Amino acid sequence: MSSTFDTIANIIAETCDIPRDSITPESHAINDLGIDSLDFLDIAFAIDKAFGIKLPLEQWTQEVNDGKATTDQYFVLKNLAARIDELVAAKGA
């Protein structure tokens, strides 16, 4: 069974035509991989379906805009994977 990170990386590689081996847990989806907001909607859709969750993109965006969070917390892929694991765990609780 692949890890959460692997699933995300595969989705990004397929959705954005980015070489899979250039995507690492330390990659920042926006700053390093150059993913824009429209492409990220496609990624969010694929993640939502793959994990059966609803990524709270609006909440995250608001937190970043309000200075309560940094983009690193949500868009560095290892952190994104951790957020997804939390959402999956919360769904099953």
Partner 1 sequence: MRLEYFQLIDRVTDLNLADRTIRTENTVPSASTVFEGHFPGYPLMPGVLLAETMAQTSGWLVVALNKYDRMPFLAALKDAKFRTFVVPGMVLVVEAKLEHDGSGYAVTNAKITSSGKPICDATITLRVMPFPNDEIRQHMREQARRLGVPSVEPANG
- The contact set with partner 1 (CB under 8 A) reads 38, 41-42, 44-45, 48-49, 54-59, 61
CA–CA gap between residue 27 and residue 72 (Å, rounded): 10
In the complex, least distance from residue 65 CB atom to partner 1, rounded to whole angstroms: 13
Closer residue to partner 1, CB minimum distance, 21 or 65 = 65
CA–CA gap between residue 85 and residue 15 (Å, rounded): 21
3-state secondary structure of 81: helix
Closer residue to partner 1, CB minimum distance, 54 or 91 = 54
Do 90 and 47 meet the contact criterion of CB atoms below 8 Å apart? no
Closer residue to partner 1, CB minimum distance, 5 or 74 = 74
